[in-house]
Amino acid sequence: MEKNENLQIIRHSCAHVMAEAVQKLFPGTKIAIGPAIDNGFYYDFDFPKEHKITEEDFPAIEKEMRRIISSNAVFTRKEISKQEALSLFKDEPYKLELINELPESEVISTYEQDGYLDLCRGPHVNSTKEINAQAFKIAKLAGAYWKGDSERPMLTRIYAWCFEKPQELKDYLTMLAEAEKRDHRKLGQEMDLFHLDPEDPGQIFWHPNGWTIYTVMQDYMRKMVRRDGYQEVNTPAIMPRTLWERSGHWGHYQKNMFITESEKRLFAIKPMNCPGAIEIFKIRSYKDFPLRLAEFGHDVRNEPSGTLHGIMRVRGFVQDDAHILCTEDQVASEVAKFCKLLKNVYHDFGFDNLVVKFSTMPEDHVGDLKTWEKAEKALSDACHEAGLEYEVQPGEGAFYGPKLEFKLYDCLGREWQCGTIQADFQLPSAERLDATYIGADNQKHHPVMLHRAILGSFERFLGILIENFAGAFPTWLAFEQAAVIPVTNQFDDYAKEVTEALTASDIRANAYLSDENMRQKIKAVTKEHKTPYILILGENEQKEKTVTVRFRQSSGLEQKTMKIQEFIDYVQEKVNSHFIGI
């Protein structure tokens, strides 16, 4: 068995142990569900009114869990009839609801350990012996609606971290502590990058500092796609119901769309850019292919506010989206071309470690088998050509086509799924948006549409960057590249002169001319802006027309005095090469 699979079984089994401990310590607590998740598990409980559980209860629950684990309790599976299940769980309303939803033919199984009974499909460990009593830790409490439905009762979710070995837990906790220091929400505030308003969930207010980084990223992406043969387009933010009906979104995606009305007609704010891209595509000839249409489209999705997270998961965001319309024969070379572009972009942002997941044909799909086989082969060939290894996720593709997903690792070893390319045989078809082209045979055909994004969304990717660099951005991304600080007011004029020279050379520089003393200015710039270069100007510098550069401490570079032009050349070289450092 795969290590990962085994670990998920340990985690889920440990969830049963936690549920047992909780019910013992808080009699009358009702149990809902307790799946394994990344790094651990959770269990949802409905506590009786008299029990207000807090973090202070964690040690007692953990202690009871350790007692259960050390008793080497065996997990016993039993298959029972629906009638038996209904009577066994008569005091557990959530389990009853689950039992009643099971199809008649479903085998119902229970698992019992140490006298605790749970309704579960399994699998589990054979005995609690297989759970290491020092490798789990209760993490936190959260509210979670039963079945994620805000109309249903709010349950208490208890999260726990769980690993095979104590050292793995220790390493994970160290990583979490480091991640907390780097939390983009915390740094976003400290560095004055953006703010979020609880009255307007998931919509970002970008401040000048954050927006500067954002536009640097956007300018960069714009340049990269243009160089790679894309044309940029832009489609309306609000489009009519009729279009969304044809695209299929009205039927399948409506609950995530903000809908509005004007002159007795319904419109939706676009949640994605694909239908707009096809609207631009009228009848074409095969000679126009491949047609690569990039759009930095601002999308809005009505996501439940409880699922939002800082700028990583929001309602309003901009994708670095593009749609490639091509013939079936061109899919392979287009995907290969995309993989190369993606690798270059990730490299420039400092990510060289990638994982590719390849999702193949699901049971429920449109299009014939031959077309699927061809598309899947095109995707896998493209990975080989770009030197990317992939992991297959059988049957995980969208119903309209196979896809590749690209995950990168940040400096804490966390995995982030960002890029994706997806072949689509459905949207351009006659049943949907009916895009056609005239082939070499003079006949009408439907093109293949490739949906693809590299960063995913600028917002989320910037969140990842903030955490990856802990706010200390490489020169090319820093919102303030140079802070110009005169030693006293006497050198203010020279400071202005230097700042103007840098600004004229497209270096983002600010002069700090206030009456505060120099040390205070340096401290503020270092802490709040994490500026790569602080230029100190005094008598000598003014006389020699030089700047004394203090490099950001983490770079380990020694202070250096340079001619103004020499410094400009130095910075421009770092910027132009997208150097990951300063």
Q: Which residues belong to the active site?
A: 274, 301, 319, 321, 323, 403, 451
Instruction: Give the distance, in angstroms, between the CA of residue 319 and the centroid of all CA atoms in the same chain.
Output: 12
Distance in angstroms (rounded) separating the CA atoms of residues 416 and 409: 6
The SS3 call for residue 324 is strand
Cβ partners under 8 Å of residue 149, min gap 6: none
Cα 393 from Cα 380, distance rounded (Å)? 12
Q: Residue 299 or 396: which CB sits closer to Zn ion?
A: 299
Contact call for residues 282 and 316 (beta carbons, < 8 A): no
The residue among 120 and 408 lying less far from Zn ion, judged by its C-beta, is: 120
Residue where the block lists tokens 């919509």:
203
Q: Are 181 and 470 in contact (CB under 8 A)?
A: yes
Residue 104, Cβ density class (10 Å: 0-12 exposed, 13-18 middle, ≥19 buried): exposed
Which residue in 472, 461, 507 sits closest to 580, CA to CA? 472
Q: How many residues does the chain have?
A: 582
CA 350/CA 346 separation, integer angstroms: 6
Angstrom distance (rounded) from CA 310 to CA 466: 12
Q: How far is the CB of 120 from Zn ion (least distance, A)?
A: 3
- Round to whole Å and give the CA distance between 131 and 299: 45
Q: Decide whether 292 or 451 has the Cβ nearer to Zn ion.
A: 451
Distance between CA atoms of 463 and 480, rounded to whole angstroms?
18
CB of 317 to Zn ion, least distance (A): 14
Closer of 44 and 410 to Zn ion (Cβ): 44
Least separation in angstroms between residue 247's CB and Zn ion is: 10
CA distance 147 to 226: 45
Distance CA 486, CA 511 (A): 8
Cβ proximity of 400 and 372 under 8 Å: no
Closest approach of Zn ion to the CB of residue 108, in Å: 13
Tell me which residues touch Zn ion (CB under 5 A): 120, 274, 451
Q: Is 229 left (phi over 0), alpha (psi -120 to 50) or beta?
A: left
CB of 272 to Zn ion, least distance (A): 6
79, amino acid identity: E
- CB 451 → Zn ion: shortest distance, Å? 3
- Spatial neighbors of 419 by CB under 8 A, at least 6 apart, are 342, 346, 405, 406, 452, 453, 454, 455, 456
Give the nearer residue to Zn ion in terms of CB position, either 422 or 531: 422
Smallest distance from the beta carbon of 428 to Zn ion, in angstroms?
11
3-state secondary structure of 565: helix
Q: Can you tell me the distance from the alpha carbon of 497 to that of 157, in angstroms, rounded to the nearest whole number?
A: 59
For residue 466 the two structure tokens come to 């903030």
Residue among 326, 327, 301 at smallest CA distance from 314 = 301
